[in-house]
Amino acid sequence: MNKVILIGNLTRDPEVTQTSSGISVCRLSIAVNRRFASADGTRDVDFFNITCWRGLADNCGKYLKKGKKIGVTGSLQTRSYEAQDGTKRQSIEIQADDIEFLSPLNSNSSDDFSESKPSNEYKPIEDEDLPF
């Protein structure tokens, strides 16, 4: 089984491109705090590269910005490539199956979620409108 679950903050704005066949691909990276603090009280951070595809890629590019908190589920994938200096290198990436946007919405944010914000106004319901 190859399953990864991470929660972290974006270290840069997502980069959305398209393949030659027109499929959207988004590359982003997150910083994830380690579970336990070191002896001096600091918590180390791990950085992960994430790739997502199609509609998920479009949504990430549209709504996410550097610093936003996300939850990612996916799988690990290794990739080998040749660097410009001719050396062979290997990279480990997360192929995202799902990305949850976890940062709260606020008025200082540059998010474009205005049409989906819930109303804080509650309307009373009359007794005759209740189904029981």
Question: pLDDT, tens digit, for every residue of 12-42?
Answer: 999 999 999 999 999 999 999 999 988 898 9
- What would the pLDDT profile of 70-118 be if each residue is shown by its tens digit? 999 999 999 999 999 999 999 999 999 999 999 876 634 444 444 444 5
pLDDT of 122 reads 64
pTM: 0.74
b/e map of 104-119 (b: 16 or more CB within 10 Å)? eeeeeeebeeeeeeee
Query: What is the DSSP secondary structure assignment for residue 117, as one 8-state letter?
Result: P
Residue 131 has pLDDT above 70, yes or no: no
User: Average model confidence (pLDDT) for the chain?
Assistant: 87
